[in-house]
A and B are shown apart, each in its own frame.
Chain A
């Protein structure tokens, strides 16, 4: 019993899981406690890398690559760009308007954790049998997470992912237009002192 637990913890995937789970938790904590927004952003990049490794352990290879490219690459560059554009790199002032805000927040989060733990503890386990899927899906397991598996699932007309994919393209277009309109300096604004 203890030997198998030891094997699970400190050999192979278990060791990797623990190392990167600890890394993800530590960097997440550092994001929350660091006063400097630039440092918080860089710790968040590390956090995203750790979670990408956990995706690899779950054999979600494509998702791990997308995580590094889109999240750690594009989104975090956008964050850093805005922080430096607005000159927000200076640490937050210690002035807190609300007393007891931090203890209250930690208490609220702990209460949420307790509720979730209670929900998990009292829920009845679902049967982890083969899930009914239409035919022609890629084999579950390692093949599902490769770019080929993702593509075969995503673009398969008999599976429900094709319409959301197309809607996502409209969403991204709308978001791009919205971001440009919001951040554009209007003529009326320049007249104002």
Chain B
């Protein structure tokens, strides 16, 4: 059987790639995608730990994380559309005031 640590290392590497993406990208949609990637990496870690510890909680929490991610994407993209309507520009460097 595949050792647990391989899954954990893979999850950590995916998470760090997502961190680099969030820190370097200028387009908020791509930043969102990198956040999804990080959530996905954590889900992989949870499922692997749940499997190897024989605990159902890992898969359950991963399932809830997916639901939360779906809600987050819907609201986040709604906010982006709203910002784009008022600014015609969604470069994260230029969205620096909260007031619309």
Q: List chain A positions with a Cβ less than 8 A from chain B.
A: 8, 13-14, 17, 21, 24-25, 28-29, 31-32, 37, 40-41, 44, 47-48, 51, 54-55, 57-60, 62-63, 66-67, 70-71, 74-75, 78-79, 82-83, 85-86, 88, 92, 96-97, 101-102, 104-106, 108-110, 112-113, 116, 120, 128, 130-131, 133, 137-138, 140-141, 144-145, 149-150, 153-154, 159, 161, 164-165, 168, 171-172, 174-176, 178-183, 185, 189
Contact = CB atoms under 8 A, between A and B. Distances in A.
Contact of B16 (A13, A85, A112, A181): A112
Given A71-B66, A109-B16, A130-B54, 5 more contacts: A29-B17, A150-B59, A161-B60, A172-B71, A175-B72
A185 B85 contact: yes
A75 B72 CA distance: 10
Range of interface residues on B (Cβ < 8 Å): 35 or more
A44 B37 contact: yes
Contacts of A63: 43, 47, 59, 62-63
